Amino acid sequence: MTSGFYVDPGSNPAAWVRANPSHPDAAAIRTRIAEQAGGRWFGNWSGDIRAAVSSYTTAADAVDKLPILVAYNIPGRDCGSHSGGGAGSPAAYRTWISAFAAGIGNRPAVVVIEPDALAQLDCVPAAEKKTRTDLLKYAVNELAAKAPNTWAYMDGGNATWIDAAEMARRLKLVEVGKIRGFALNTSNYYTNDQSVAKGNAIRGALGGTAQFVIDSSRNGNGSNGEWCNPAGRRLGETSRNGNHLSATLDLLVWLKVPGDSDGDCGTGRGIPAGTFSPVLAKNLITG
């Protein structure tokens, strides 16, 4: 329905380049990162969520491009770690995700639902686990009902986090069969080959129907076992069709914005999660 992916003109790297045109790394960051299509993350910082999503998808539709959105507002997000936060209650989340889906409407989009929410289910208190899976199931059903031209994917962890059979069980709990499939490697570093193998294992455990996407934004050098601003990582393949790697892989997409910190850790010490750093960006360009 579109002629390629939408490049977010309001991304942190794009804003930094506009503000720092004479910086020695500005040209490289502009061409290698800011001008590449990637995801825009929506959460409790987004204000009126229906208006925010509608504005973004309308802008993409106006230029016949496909926007990539990440919904990231589950209560108890990130188990209270570097990206902690989220909606204040289950009712608030239902209202939020319903408005998110309505903001897309009939426009085409790619949506990844709640990174880490299923993989981090083990950190959720026992009495609240069903509440979380019920909220994710609600998100699936809202997107299926209100955004019919969206390919939505429930986040399914990464290549070494939660075995395939268990992740498939969790995906079934949230009725993943009602959307396009699941996402792997969000904000992580595992290679495409590792993620394809894990994706096909999960797909098999689901019964062989779901498709999947891989976050390839920072996996050019693979993983060294660290997840929080590790040294020596590199940009991966830019957003594109994924069928050259596997018929079951819909897309490679830049979900994590390269140069945005994972938190006050690793090579991003002192840089809060979600804050752009030209140093982190340059390191990903050079490896």
Residues marked active site are found at 78, 116, 262
Distance separating alpha carbons of residues 127 and 187, to the nearest angstrom: 28
